Amino acid sequence: MVEIEYHTDLKEVQCDPVLGDLLARASQAGPFDRIAWWRLLARHCGLDPLLAVARDGDAMAALPLARQGDGLAALANWYTFRFRPILMPGARSTELLRTLASDLASRTERMTLAGLPDEDGCATRLAEAFRAEGWFVVREPCDVNHYLEVAGRTYADYLAGRPGKLRTTLKRKSGKVETRVLTRFDAAVWADYEQIYAESWKPEEGSPDFLRAFAEAEGAAGRLRLGIARADGRAVAAQMWTIEAGVAWIHKLAHRESARPLSPGSVLSAALFRHVIDEDRVETVDFGTGDDPYKRDWMEAVRPRYRLSLLRPAAPRNWPDMAKFGLRRLAATVKRG
């Protein structure tokens, strides 16, 4: 028999011998699928967590949610590359997800789950589970993820396949910028990063405290790759990557606008690609979300991320949104026809 439980205290969840193990690093190889990530989001980014769990004996599925306005949303934000339910290997995921979807109707009349991948069938499974339990479901693309499959290449092999303009830039500028890749957290280098970010083209950092806490934790675990570039002794570009389970995740990059003629960001990216490919021997490099043009110079593939808008049809306040979605579907059908 499937039982449903809800947790608002994520620290308490870590004490559960089965659920805590499912959500720990030993079971989840990506940072966004672990309770440590969600706790940082709750502590530093103002998210109000609600972890929904379906159990059938030792088999379980967990859906990390957050209260948002008058409904529920994914426990995620701009720092999260992807969002998905956490399923115990071998569990009957369809039954567990359907039971969760059914019980959540007693908690909320509307939900939004964004950033879902579907290369693993995740977005499809969730949409089918909620639809089968009577929810009005709208699935639509909301973002893209650029990534690289290294496929056993060396960095030299990889570089040979980059666009000619990028290779020329690296050849001309590399001698003008000194780069360094650290595998531990360094407070002085982090201070350089924060100053560089403040003088970059980037918008104001959403939560500097979150990012630093994550970098410190990843540094302590040996997963941090912190890059710094200097010109004439002055820090001009910085990047934060992490690696684990054969994947390099590119979290943050910035350069001073005043140093743009030196292309320090490109030179530093090259140093980090060289490090993770030739030294860490990763299999994949993930450039997060967003369709920024410069990502296409470094990445070779792109995959969509989806949003599910989930509404209870019996709730009158959902009817205007359901009508809006219905009209959009009709317009799309007419256009295709």
DSSP string, 129-141: HHHHTT-EEEEEE
Give residues with Cβ within 8 angstroms of 69, minimum separation 6.
Answer: none
**pLDDT over threshold 90, residue 202:** no
**pLDDT over threshold 80, residue 91:** no
Task: Judge whether 225 and 218 are in contact, CB under 8 Å.
Answer: no
The answer to which of 18-27, 170-179, 300-309 has the lowest mean pLDDT is 18-27
The residue-averaged pLDDT of 201-218 equals 94
**pLDDT over threshold 90, residue 68:** yes
Task: Judge whether 45 and 36 are in contact, CB under 8 Å.
Answer: no
Our CA angle for 249, 254, 220, nearest 5°, is 45
Q: Which comes out higher in pLDDT, residue 204 or 47?
A: 47
Give the pairing of strands 136-149 and 178-182.
unpaired
pLDDT by residue (tens digit) across 242-261?
999 999 999 999 999 999 99
3-state helix, strand, coil in the chain (%, to 5): 40, 30, 30
| pTM, to two decimals | 0.94
pLDDT of residue 26: 86
pLDDT by residue (tens digit) across 226-240?
999 999 999 999 999
**pLDDT over threshold 80, residue 205:** yes
Element (H, E) at 334: helix 319-336
**pLDDT over threshold 90, residue 296:** yes
Instruction: Tell me the pLDDT band of 335, cut-offs 50, 70 and 90.
Output: confident
How high does pLDDT run on average in the chain? 96
The residue-averaged pLDDT of 267-282 equals 98
**pLDDT over threshold 80, residue 327:** yes
**pLDDT over threshold 80, residue 311:** yes
Residue 74 backbone dihedrals phi, psi, to 5 degrees = -65, 140
Instruction: Tell me the pLDDT band of 25, cut-offs 50, 70 and 90.
Output: confident
DSSP 119: T
Task: Judge whether 276 and 285 are in contact, CB under 8 Å.
Answer: yes
State the DSSP string of 194-250: HHHHHTSSSPPPS-HHHHHHHHHHHHHTT-EEEEEEEETTEEEEEEEEEEETTEEEE
Ordered domains of the chain (ranges, CATH): 3-144+303-336 (3.40.630), 151-282 (3.40.630.30)
pLDDT of residue 333: 80
Name the packing angle between helices 164-173 and 264-274 (round to 10°). 100
pLDDT by residue (tens digit) across 140-173?
999 999 999 999 999 999 999 999 999 999 999 9
The residue-averaged pLDDT of 90-104 equals 93
